[in-house]
Amino acid sequence: MKAVLVAGEPSGDRLGAALIDGLRRLSPDLDLSGVGGAAMAEAGMPSLFPMERLSVMGLTEVLPRLPELFRLRDRVVEHVVATEPDVLVTIDSPDFGLRVAARAAARAPATTRVHYVAPSVWAWRPERAERMARTVDHVLALLPFEPPYMERAGVASTFVGHPVATMPLSTRDGALAWRQEAGIEGRTVLVLPGSRRGEVARLAPVFGAALERLPDDVRIVVPTVAPVEDAVRAATRGWKGRPLVVSGDRAKRHAFAAADAALAASGTVSLELAANGVPMVIAYDMSWLTWQIVSRMVKVDTATLVNLVTGRNTVPEFLGPACRPGPIGEALNRLLVVPSERERQLAAMDACMEALGRGGEAPGLRAAHATLAAVEAKRSA
């Protein structure tokens, strides 16, 4: 089988690598090409150009790059037309990937077009599903409640599981050894103020003030990523509890396993905390104007994925005007001192991980099965 895969950012690169492994298991004669990063290259797919050339965020950053992005889009489309693959899989990054798929639909109609990661039409902008139905043949969804939204819009969709459900976790012994190595005694609270500089700048002062409500013996650990590590260190320098800033996959994995509770910015990190069984409080803020726009567009009453997957608002969240130190600190403190608060969240986290595919077939292999089925369905149509 011949396949072209297109990813535009690190998260898509990881999904793509797992999909490649699954496709090779099911189709050993796989002929691969496309656009990807280090993970997909290690899985055996050469990239037409460095994936980093597509990693642009924000209107002011995108506009100057538009001519180059259009050229890269056309280059991928020409590659699809020239190679005539059985399947084109665009992975996340819909602004780029779906434009490639739309042009490929017109010029290489026999190629099955699959998009990996459903848009969050259940939360806002539901019209995206209808537009996608005109562009792709099948959507691979990470969340179990997403396929019905896509199918109602006229595009086939399969839930393939979320990679967080099979992510590697630290062992109890590994977490204990890390605590000793870091000189941590007693209770530990993780604080995660975001992975972008703007998030850190906005949330760190609120989070730091919220921590003043915690007992003095609680140790604060702040896992972060390299691009914002300097900003996080500067923003947390005045926090109570001698905050320990850590970076790197090993330290993060052990810190998550060793934590008693967490305060985190809204995002997929809530699923990582759930996978590790860490009770949490979620908070997020934005500019007044952005909040006015977003709050009117959003169709759900929670932004936390654990709550959305389980259908129960078990994880407390403080968004927009509610993102204030006092209530956040009180909710975080309750997780440390009220056993029933922890138990309710732990039960919800178990249910969430089960729903996302924990203990089942690996998401990459499930995605590969669904991709091959989509190819066969198009051939038979």
Q: Is 63 a member of any domain? A: yes
Q: Is there a single domain that holds both residue 119 and residue 203?
A: no
Q: Is there a single domain that holds both residue 209 and residue 335?
A: yes
Number of structural domains (the chain) is 2
Instruction: For the chain, list residues with pLDDT below 50.
Output: 58-60
The closest alpha carbon to 310, from 353, 264, 266, belongs to 353
The closest alpha carbon to 218, from 341, 328, 340, 336, belongs to 336
pLDDT at res. 58:
46
Q: Is there a single domain that holds both residue 232 and residue 120?
A: no
Reported as a single tens digit per residue, the pLDDT across 289-306 is 777 776 766 766 787 889
Q: Is there a single domain that holds both residue 179 and residue 225?
A: yes
Q: Is there a single domain that holds both residue 179 and residue 136?
A: no
CB under 8 Å to 292, separation ≥6 — which residues?
Answer: none
User: Alpha-carbon distance 83 to 80, whole Å?
Assistant: 5
Q: Is there a single domain that holds both residue 156 and residue 186?
A: no
Q: Is 53 exposed, middle or buried (0-12, 13-18, 19+ CB in 10 A)?
A: middle
Per the CB < 8 A criterion, the answer to whether 186 and 219 are in contact is yes
User: Alpha-carbon distance 363 to 268, whole Å?
Assistant: 16
Q: Is there a single domain that holds both residue 348 and residue 220?
A: yes
Per the CB < 8 A criterion, the answer to whether 20 and 43 are in contact is yes
* Model confidence, pTM: 0.86
**Domain range spanning residue 45?**
2-161+359-380
User: Alpha-carbon distance 281 to 46, whole Å?
Assistant: 42
Q: Is 167 a member of any domain? A: no
Of all helices (H) and strands (E), which one includes residue 69? helix 66-83
pLDDT at res. 62:
63
DSSP state of 117: S
Taking each helix axis as running N to C, give the angle between helix 172-182 and helix 249-258, from 0 to 180 degrees, rounded to the nearest 10: 100
Largest CA distance in the chain: 66
pLDDT at res. 63:
72
Q: Is 76 a member of any domain? A: yes
Q: Is 340 a member of any domain? A: yes
- The beta strand positions in 10-72, using DSSP E, are 31-35
pLDDT at res. 95:
86
Q: Is there a single domain that holds both residue 152 and residue 213?
A: no
Which domain CATH number covers 324? 3.40.50.2000
Q: Is 116 a member of any domain? A: yes
Q: Is 102 a member of any domain? A: yes
Q: Is 332 exposed, middle or buried (0-12, 13-18, 19+ CB in 10 A)?
A: buried
Q: Is there a single domain that holds both residue 43 and residue 143?
A: yes
Q: Is there a single domain that holds both residue 243 and residue 325?
A: yes
Q: Computed from CA positions of residues 16, 22, 25, 26, in that sequence, does the dihedral angle turn out positive or negative?
A: negative
Q: Is 99 a member of any domain? A: yes
Q: Is there a single domain that holds both residue 345 and residue 372?
A: no
Q: Is 296 exposed, middle or buried (0-12, 13-18, 19+ CB in 10 A)?
A: exposed
Q: Is 166 a member of any domain? A: no
Cα 377 to Cα 109, 370, 371, 372, distances in angstroms: 14, 10, 10, 9
Cα 131 to Cα 90, 291, 343, distances in angstroms: 15, 26, 42
The closest alpha carbon to 113, from 146, 156, 147, 72, belongs to 156
Q: Is there a single domain that holds both residue 226 and residue 329?
A: yes
